[in-house]
């Protein structure tokens, strides 16, 4: 298996910094786009992940809540203290680090790919959306390409140690981990495999020490036997692939599939590297799409058919495409590759930004739901008396007023209990919630 070219000393380090600069610039641009609009982007999970990271230092169990994604909470809590924008900065840095890792894997062609790779990544529809929404998918994407890089560099122990934390990042580990573990076993690196216990052991020891028996309440897989959402079509994600990846990346990915097959059959000297790419990169991409399609079709796995969950596979998709393109150019000895890839990058950028603006309203404006919640909370804050509490099941409400939804002065949570309300409390309610709360179906809609 070929190794990516490591950075050398002196002037080469400066070249590596220059190669990383476009990724950092696009990360800054993503943050500015979020700050330049008036949309909160994701009022549900985005708001809730921010709240969990924001208030985790005051509620230790949030560091261990499997739905909150413990590793994301631990790494993001410092950024969350700066508000929702802090989580966007966090995700943008994760995305930049992901692009730089992909460039590292490409090796000697990283200079030519310095703009193309981050444009592919940030220009992918759902990936851009999760970055500016402050969601958890970018962290899993970074972990996946970092693990692949470590395996390419034959650092099997480090790869397995990193992989051991992926169950506490995103549920897609059920696809990624088996492929990388099988590869490690195929390479007979038996001594590395016990390191797969590192993450679970640390999680269990820390959880028991800080929470005692309560730890078990948060360690349970939140997606197992979760019937909150009804099942859907098995092809839900396939028919909306363009809205997930964007037309440019989707078309390139499909074109690169036969190209990689040709490289594998024609270039015998690099066949081990191509084999590694197909097992460690392509197979997890296909697997993640397949497992989400199955989960939504079968039901009972907490899948709502959200397109953004496929953003977890976008970094590996970009890696596969970029690796295939640049190695194809080398194998077939394309003339003037620097000029060719420069023009290709310009064309791709023009196409990708047009596709992005077509599929996502930029700069984003508030949705009707956002405006309604903002109006409701403005009215609630105007009416609340001294010592009064606000009861709400909408996470964006707590974001707006800066409340800790797990503190006594905020009477609401995801599971609102009317019995806990007291005289003077204000209930923010929308009759739409009755579809998930039959016990409150008769409650009048807010005026």
What is residue 428's predicted lDDT score, i.e. its pLDDT? 64
**pLDDT, tens digit, 9 for 90 and up, residues 203-225:** 999 999 998 878 877 777 777 76
With respect to residue 3, please indicate whether it lies within any of the assigned structural domains: no
Same domain, 349 and 396: no
392 and 413 belong to one structural domain? yes
Pick the closest to residue 150 from 110, 189, 111 (CA basis): 189
Among residues 261, 211, 178, 279, the alpha carbon closest in space to that of 64 is found at: 211
First to last CA, the chain: 65
Find where tokens 């506490």 sit: 168
* pLDDT for res 7: 41
Residue 341 has pLDDT above 60, yes or no: yes
pLDDT at residue 333, rounded to an integer: 87
**Is the same domain home to 128 and 274?**
yes
Average pLDDT rounded to a whole number, residues 282-294: 97
What's the confidence (pLDDT) of residue 239? 97
The reply to whether 1 falls in a domain is no
- 273-285 average pLDDT score: 97
Whether 177 and 311 map to the same domain: the answer is yes
In the predicted structure, residue 28 carries a pLDDT above the cut 50? yes
Please tell me the total number of residues recorded for the chain in this structure: 447
Angle, CA 199 vertex, CA 106 and CA 137 arms, to 5°: 50
Domain assignment present for 424: yes
For position 110, what pLDDT does the model report?
86
The domain boundary, picked from 359, 389, 409, lies at 359
Residue 220 pLDDT: 79
Do 207 and 255 have their domain in common? yes
pTM: 0.90
* Contact yes or no for 443/422 (Cβ under 8 A): no
Which residue is listed with tokens 């990544």?
Answer: 121
Q: Are residues 197 and 327 in the same domain?
A: yes
Tens of pLDDT, residue by residue over 4-21, are 444 443 334 667 778 899
pLDDT for position 295: 93
Q: Is residue 6 part of a domain?
A: no
Instruction: Give the domain range for residue 425.
Output: 368-440
In a domain, 445, yes or no: no
**pLDDT value of residue 189:** 97
d(CA 315, CA 280): 12
The number of domains in the chain is: 2
| Pairwise pLDDT comparison (13 vs 296), residue with the higher score | 296
Domain final residue pick, 359, 380, 415? 359
The chain-wide mean pLDDT, for the chain, equals: 88
Distance CA 103, CA 112 (A): 10
Exposed/middle/buried for residue 386 (C-beta within 10 Å: 0-12, 13-18, 19+) = exposed
* Average pLDDT over every residue of 47-76: 95
387 shares a domain with 275: no
Measured CA distances, 283 to 183, 237, 269, 277 (Å): 12, 17, 22, 9
**Confidence at residue 427, expressed as pLDDT on a 0 to 100 scale:** 66
Q: What is the pLDDT of residue 299?
A: 85
Domain-embedded: residue 446 = no
Judgement on whether residues 232 and 333 belong to the same structural domain of the protein: yes
In a domain, 5, yes or no: no
Asked if 386 and 347 sit in the same domain, the reply is: no
| 42 and 166 both lie in a single domain | yes
Of all residues in the chain, the percent with pLDDT exceeding 70 is 86
190 against 299, higher pLDDT:
190
Residue 425 has pLDDT above 90, yes or no: no
pLDDT attached to residue 216: 77
Domain termination site, one of 338, 359, 380:
359
Whole-number pLDDT of residue 441: 45
Residue 163 lies in a domain: yes
Q: What integer is the mean pLDDT of 78-90?
A: 97
- Compute the average pLDDT of residues 368-373: 90
- Same domain, yes or no: 355 and 373: no
């Amino acid at each position: 298996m070929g190794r990516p070219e490591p950075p050398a000393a002196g002037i080469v380090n400066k070249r590596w910094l220059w190669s990383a600069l476009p990724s950092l610039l696009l990360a800054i641009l993503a943050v500015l786009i979020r700050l330049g609009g008036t949309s909160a982007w994701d009022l549900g999970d985005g708001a809730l992940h921010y709240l969990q990271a924001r208030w985790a230092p005051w509620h230790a169990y949030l560091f261990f809540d499997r739905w909150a994604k413990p590793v994301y909470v631990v790494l993001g809590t410092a950024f969350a203290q700066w508000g929702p924008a802090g989580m966007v900065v966090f995700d943008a840095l994760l995305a930049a680090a992901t692009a730089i890792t992909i460039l590292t894997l490409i090796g000697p062609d990283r200079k030519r790919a310095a703009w193309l790779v981050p444009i592919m990544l940030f220009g992918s529809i759902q990936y851009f959306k999760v970055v500016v929404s402050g969601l958890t998918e970018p962290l899993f994407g970074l972990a996946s390409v970092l693990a692949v890089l470590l395996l390419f560099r034959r650092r099997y122990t480090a790869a397995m140690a990193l992989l051991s934390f992926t169950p506490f990042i995103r549920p897609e580990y059920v696809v990624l981990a088996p492929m990388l573990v099988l590869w490690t076993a195929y390479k007979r690196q038996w001594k590395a495999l016990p390191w797969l216990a590192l993450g679970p052991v640390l999680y269990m020891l820390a959880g028991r020490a800080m929470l005692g028996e309560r730890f078990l309440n948060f360690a349970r897989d939140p997606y197992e036997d979760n019937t909150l959402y009804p099942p859907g079509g098995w092809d839900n994600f396939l028919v909306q692939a363009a809205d997930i990846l964007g037309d440019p990346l989707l078309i390139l990915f499909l074109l690169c599939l036969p190209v990689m097959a040709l490289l594998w059959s024609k270039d015998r000297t690099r066949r081990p590297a191509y084999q590694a790419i197909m097992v460690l990169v392509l197979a997890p991409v296909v697997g993640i799409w397949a497992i989400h399609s199955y989960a939504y079709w079968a039901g009972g796995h907490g899948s709502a058919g959200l397109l953004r969950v496929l953003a977890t596979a976008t970094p590996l998709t970009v890696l596969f495409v970029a690796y295939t393109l640049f190695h194809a150019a080398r194998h077939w000895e394309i003339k003037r590759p620097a000029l060719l890839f420069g023009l290709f990058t310009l064309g791709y950028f023009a196409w990708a930004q047009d596709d992005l603006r077509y599929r996502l309203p930029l700069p984003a404006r508030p949705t009707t739901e956002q405006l309604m919640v903002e109006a409701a909370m403005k009215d609630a804050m105007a009416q609340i008396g001294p010592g009064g509490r606000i009861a709400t099941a909408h996470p964006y409400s707590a974001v707006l007023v800066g409340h800790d939804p797990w503190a006594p002065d905020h009477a609401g949570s995801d599971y609102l209990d009317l019995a806990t309300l007291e005289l003077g409390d204000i209930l923010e309610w929308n009759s739409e919630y009755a579809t998930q709360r039959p016990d409150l179906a008769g409650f009048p809609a807010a005026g």
